[in-house]
Structure 1
Amino acid sequence: LFDEVEKAHPDVLNLLLQILEEGTLTASDGRTADFRSTIVIMTGNIGAEQLSRNTLGFGGGQDSSESDVMSALKKQFSPELINRIDNVIVFRRLGEEQLESICRILLGKLAQRAVQCGISLSFTDDTVRHICRQVSRERGMGARPLRRTITSEIEDRISCMMISGELKNGCRAEVCENSGELSVRVMSTQ
């Protein structure tokens, strides 16, 4: 997996070209690594800017998106490298529904970690929508800001409450949104 391949040094791209062309990679000491049974996956944000500009109004659809990305690829990489790529998959921007689903998964993991500390933690639907609204302001960043926002808006606050003793083993708490702010409401303690 070559993540964000557009940021790779040209020497790395030359090595990648050798892997894709010959199926092997030879080190300076003569040792050879076999890549013939390997699937090489490259990810990147190439063409993302063009795609974000084309999302308003009457777009040309998937075919237009793919041609925009191919055009950006041709500007970024050598023809030799492009000709060795079997398939280019263009992912659409995450919609509100997808962001909310990912947010619920991340919050579920946080709730599981809280259970390990003896704390029952729940989240309102308004909490999920609040977090997703904040993240959607960072257009083009996908779901990555979700984790950062959950950490700064919820995890840090819960940690402080645990340190102060306000939230402890046996507590039940709910994270809710009030007037555009998130708050942690302790529902019951033992």
Structure 2
Amino acid sequence: MDRGRTVDFRNTVVIMTSNLGSDLIQERFGELDYSHMKDLILGVVSQNFRPEFINRIDEVVVFHPLGEKHIASIAQIQLQRLYKRLEERGYEVHMSDEALKLLSANGYDPVYGARPLKRAIQQQIENPLAQQILSGELIPGKEVQLVVKDDHIVAVQ
């Protein structure tokens, strides 16, 4: 009978993430210092996990909620991937600061952080660009600007 494999976890860091206590962070952010907030979060963790598991955790890090600048930075990273794919097809794409600000606002949720951002990029940037490319509105070799018009992000050449 196969006994499986033995894995050596020395010199290994295992990172686990959770949204436990995120409601507390949202409600009390700015009111409490880091150590008090961490104590509150550890209380929530102890209510949700067995002591045998908690005793195996060496360190708990409580992250601060993302701000507007963080979301814009994450959006730029995600957009660079899209720009690279489009560049391979002959489209050079640039986004105005106003469009980035609108995308960041639409892709941010205080509870879920930046998670909705990918969906916002897909719905507000990728899908409309794909439709314009397929319809022939956007011509390869010409620069494409993403700008805000009537509270929507639009692509213009």
Q: How does 1:146-161 map to 2 (within 5 A)?
A: 146-161=117-132
TM-score by length of 2: 0.91
Choose 1 or 2 for highest CA Rg.
Answer: 1
TM superposition outliers: structure 1 runs of 4+ over 3 Å: none
Question: 1:35 offset after TM fit, Å?
Answer: 3.1
Of 74, 83, 102 in structure 2, the residue corresponding to residue 130 of structure 1 is: 102
Structure 2: gaps (5+ residues): none
The corresponding residue for 1:108 is 80
Aligned residues: 156
Question: 1:39 offset after TM fit, Å?
Answer: 2.7
Distance in 1, Cα, partners of 2:86 & 2:132: 12
One-letter amino acid of the structure 2 residue matched with residue 84 of structure 1: R
One-letter amino acid of the structure 2 residue matched with residue 53 of structure 1: E
The corresponding residue for 2:92 is 120
Deviations 1:131-187 (A, max 9, x none): 111123x2121222111101100110110111111113212210101231111112x
Distance in 1, Cα, partners of 2:107 & 2:84: 23
Report the secondary structure of 2:144's partner residue.
Answer: strand
- In structure 2, relative to structure 1, the CA distance for the partners of 1:117 and 1:36 (3 Å cut) is closer
Report the secondary structure of 2:16's partner residue.
Answer: coil
RMSD of aligned residue pairs (Cα, Å): 1.6
Structure 1: gaps (5+ residues): 1-27
Residue 34 in 1 paired to residue 27 in 2? no
Contact 2:107 2:118 in 1 (8 A): no
Bigger mean CA deviation after superposition, 36-45 or 159-168 = 36-45
Distance in 2, Cα, partners of 1:153 & 1:96: 18
Contact 1:51 1:68 in 2 (8 A): no
One-letter amino acid of the structure 2 residue matched with residue 30 of structure 1: R
Of 67, 81, 104 in structure 1, the residue corresponding to residue 53 of structure 2 is: 81
Question: 1:104 offset after TM fit, Å?
Answer: 1.4
The corresponding residue for 1:4 is none
Distance in 2, Cα, partners of 1:48 & 1:134: 20
The corresponding residue for 1:67 is 39
The corresponding residue for 2:22 is 48
Question: 1:34 offset after TM fit, Å?
Answer: 2.1
Identity within the alignment, % = 28
**Bigger relative contact order, structure 1 or 2 (CA pairs below 8 A, ≥6 apart):** 2
Distance in 2, Cα, partners of 1:157 & 1:42: 36
